[in-house]
Amino acid sequence: MHAQLYRSLYRIRRVEEEIARVYPTDAIKSPVHLSIGQEAVSVGVCAALEKGDVVFGTYRSHALYLAKGGDLRAMIAELYGKSTGCAHGKGGSMHLIDPRAGVMGASAVVGTTIPQAVGYAWALKLRREPALVVSMFGDGAIEEGVFHESLNFAVLHRLPVLFVCENNFYAIHSHLRERQAMRSIAEFARGYGLPSELVDDGGVESILEAAKRATAAIRRGEGPQFLECFTYRWREHVGPGEDFDAGYRDRAEATPWIDFDPVVREAARLDATERQAIETAVDAEVADAFAFADTSPAPEPAALWTDV
């Protein structure tokens, strides 16, 4: 299990680092919201899922897409705006999708995939299918009306959906304490009758164990569950750089999270030979994906009239 978790964490980190490196060249035709620092949430949650389960994400969904098994070549090609991308070059970084892997899509608009996830869960229940749905969103989404409507509907109909709040404490540049009188989002969710758990240490194994408990309850027919996972993004809200000089947060706040780095912690659980083998294979895969994107064709002009 440690090797599997490390491979997923390291793979996401390397992809994100390469995106940050390439981005200033303008080869990437889409804004990017990097998941560096937040990888443990997606990796821990997805490690608790089965193949037939599906996930719905946000504009910051590189980690979720990859952790659930989304095609890496298609992801990078999508960022490059190429016809081989997962949305044929039309969606970019914020609209990743791979239904074959159970990645049902992301959206640039805050909160909009939450009701989609609930609708999918309702369909699963009506069809009596055994799968479950994960709705992943940030703390900023709790201030959207559709978040509240969706939680209430899911509880009312006992739907097989796991709500996961990646709480990195910031809605773009506004800290949670400036937006909410009640600081516990998990406690907030309990007001809708949702069994809720807070994972506050940022560790991938803690998140995995919490996700296992939640998904087991859903599979027993106990209805929706809610996880709040503390995490922290290391880079700016959108783009490849840092933003500690922007005035809304400082490096001292980030330092404990950077020092805790789940990628480094999980690497330490493996022997050097096993770790090196994982890193060598992942590095080759990442290089291949960027080369594929670079050499893939741009969409034909006629594609403007398809899928619209």
Question: What is the dihedral sign for C-alpha 242, 96, 57, 144?
Answer: positive
Name which of 175, 181, 199, 198 is nearest 253 in CA terms. 175
Q: Indicate the pLDDT class of residue 183, thresholds 50, 70 and 90.
A: confident
pLDDT for 188: 87
**pTM for the complete prediction?**
0.96
Domains and CATH numbers, the chain: 2-299 (3.40.50.970)
Residue pLDDT, tens place only, 93-146 = 999 999 999 999 999 999 999 999 999 999 999 999 999 999 999 999 999 999
Check pLDDT > 90 for residue 280: yes
Q: What is the mean pLDDT of the chain?
A: 96
Q: Cβ distance 278 to 14 under 8 Å? A: no
Q: Where are the beta strands (DSSP E) in 71-186?
A: 133-138, 161-167, 170-171, 174-175
Using alpha carbons, select from 192, 191, 55, 78 the residue that is nearest to residue 136. Answer: 55
Per the rule left: phi > 0, alpha: psi between -120 and 50, beta: everything else, 27 is alpha
In tens, the pLDDT along 149-161 reads 999 999 999 999 9
pLDDT at 116: 98
Stated as kind and residue range, the H or E segment containing 263 is helix 262-267
- Split at pLDDT 50, 70, 90, the class of 181 is confident
| High-pLDDT (> 90) share of the chain, % | 95
